[in-house]
Structure 1
């Protein structure tokens, strides 16, 4: 009888604590709030993990930058000092408010024309990792061949202590990590080859996640993974700087184009919340990053970024944890509605077997 009682106690304890002991993907139980742009919503669930700073390291919609408030259409984007970007290369990025905007909630975007149109040298708190997402619109196809050839970068990530010699580059045709002292870090000393799959003269959602300590990265365009890269041919190093972002055209005959950028989200962890058009994470489609103001393992408070989703439209909510895992099925939302859910604390255990 004593043995049976002990077994029952162990079964009870497993039922209570196992969900907290097992690392699993985030689970969204319910949400509360009005699902409109700029509104505060609360997300209840489990497996979200802890986050050192709820807000991202940078959320730049152009409109929300205090130091840009006096700018008018066509003014040069200021840099350095209290501005979000330390350098606007050659002053080529301008504030644009008369071109068609990405959505009805924003009135300003970045716009630049040339071969070296880029924002540079943004450092963040060092965790060894960078997650960067931004909306990008090119006037011509970045894959366009030139007579002499070109290799042109959308983004370069670096180690702030040695940005030139420890770097990651994503170009229109390839992507790679490079160390000056060890060479190319993947593909037997080469790079991964991937043409840009986006749409010309339309807004494309671009993402890069880099983990310098585990020597892996992933790049995505419009919710589709373009490359999951492994760079284990070099010693690891931390990434904590966006060395350049925009259009950095190089090679024998660089490609000149106009680019627009908007809604730049930068953090030192893959943890984030997103609303997406697809009902499953594996085919999530276009997404909008949400802006957290509080984050705990069982609840988030977000400021809703409606972005390109229309009133009454269907969207799906995802939470990504520190390992990069998200809930496999999106939590369905109808934009514009008000919902009132509550969290249950610990999720009920599933899949337990009694022997």
Structure 2
């Protein structure tokens, strides 16, 4: 019972979610009370937490703001502990009057020309290797430097800051960070997403080099923007940066809602706040963010190793107090392009023969058994939505030619599209027993699609991700299952 809306609680059921020792993150700061989380340390008095303009969402009451005309150190730190792994998020908006600096140090326009927007730093001495991303305003093209202090051999320019951080727009910065396994081991981990797009990625960095002497864990020291040189040289009266929805945790395990069925296609993701976490069940409090009621969305679970589940479809504002998510340990299946058919391929030498068996004295013996490809049969539904044309459209399929025990290693998944729109899937179907599986196609706002048809197909996957069988494409006229007023 309940709706998928801001601050409501939903339960996610499934398998393979992994462990998260402390369900809630170390920091979730949306500035709803106009005060800064006690776990976050600001670095200037000009950074305030009770600003009321330029709010990110309709649910926001306050945001944080710093004037980089007055102070360049307008960022937060998390100083409570160091750890080998971190996930950090913050949203930032640069005012329309923001002026990127263009000069080198002590040049005529060097204010806001050397900005660090994320940094991992050890406690104590800065002589140890530390890591950051840094904007160099005097550069052209790729002017963001992935940098290591005391380990400059790994520095690399990765993208253009001005093209990505457009002004007067909220942008989401997300970072996965993992220390290397020991001194001079090139197996450290970084991922940087901005607005859901992966901008930097490596699993071969050296986060602790030989100069350190010992491997040192770090903590997120710069969360936000830090102007390493003098305040802005711009003639503008103010140079505001706004912050919202800061999330800090010492594990990569998390839950997010995105705007596309596959993780890599999302350009808008909203962090969800776990209240409890187990291998098979997660309870989260919904952070609706910029999603509007009626928007289709997809829920993703990320485990502590960074593995991402397939997107589980939902509709913001729709019913969903409890539903099933895809296993995290199965990689997401990319959306099929142009709805092209992928034909089941078999070794021509086999000619439909499966060879398996056991001979005398426990030795394996090859037996020739006719190979039967399972059949997927759509069941008639007689579905009739409410007079308000709201709710999911449930489809069911029967898998013939496989006994009940075989379902432990076979997984029907569904692909669908509406009208001539893009396809969505593949999504796991729910096993109801007696070889029957079902799936609820989420409500996209059916009324808008009247006179169109919904097309759907199921495919049967094995444990290795191979396609064993596929159903025919089924087509339903949307007007046929919506009750007329």
Fold shared by both chains (TM-score > 0.5): yes
Q: Does 1:220 align with 2:175?
A: no
* 1:73-152 alignment, distance < 5 Å: 83-86=38-41, 88-114=42-68, 115-139=71-95, 144-146=101-103, 147=108, 149=110, 150-152=113-115
Mapped to 2, the partners of 1:84 and 1:333 lie a distance apart of 33
Pair 1:174 & 2:127 matched: no
Cross-structure match for 1:19: none
Question: Structure 2: how far apart are the matches of 1:96 and 1:42?
Answer: 32
How many residues are treated as equivalent by the alignment?
Answer: 301
Highest RCO, 1 vs 2 (Cα 8 Å, sep ≥ 6): 1
Q: Report what 1:7 is aligned to.
A: none
TM-score (norm 1): 0.76
Alpha-carbon contact 2:88-2:248 (below 8 Å) kept = yes
1:200 aligns with 2:167: yes
Residues 1:297 and 2:297 aligned together: no
Q: For the Cα contact (< 8 Å) 1:155–1:170, is it kept in 2?
A: yes
Moved more, 313-322 or 336-345: 336-345
Structure 2: unaligned runs, 5 residues or longer: 136-142, 181-186, 328-406, 411-461, 465-485
Cross-structure match for 1:157: 120
- How far the C-alpha of 1:179 sits from its partner, in A, is 4.5
Give a deviation string over 1:27-51, Cα, whole Å, max 9, x none.
xxxxx75201111100011111011
* Pair 282,176 (structure 1): closer, same or farther in 2 beyond 3 Å: same
Match of 2:205 in 1: 231
CA contact (8 A) 1:118 1:244 kept: no
Name the counterpart of 2:296. Answer: 314
1:184 aligns with 2:149: no
Q: What secondary structure, in the 3-state scheme, does the structure 1 residue paired with 2:320 have?
A: strand
Deviation track 1:164-218 (CA, whole Å, cap 9, x = no partner) reads: 64321112233435253xx2251xxx33332221321110011111101341201
Instruction: Report the counterpart of residue 338 of structure 1 in structure 2.
Output: 319
Moved more, 273-282 or 230-239: 230-239
CA-based RMSD of the aligned residues comes to 2.9
Measure, in 2, the Cα distance between the counterparts of 1:106 and 1:279.
27
Maintained 8 Å contact 2:74/2:224:
yes
Partner of 1:242: 220
C-alpha contact 2:39 2:80 (8 A) present in aligned 1? no
CA apart distance, 1:240: 3.7
| Alignment check: 8 A CA contact 1:179 1:234 kept | no
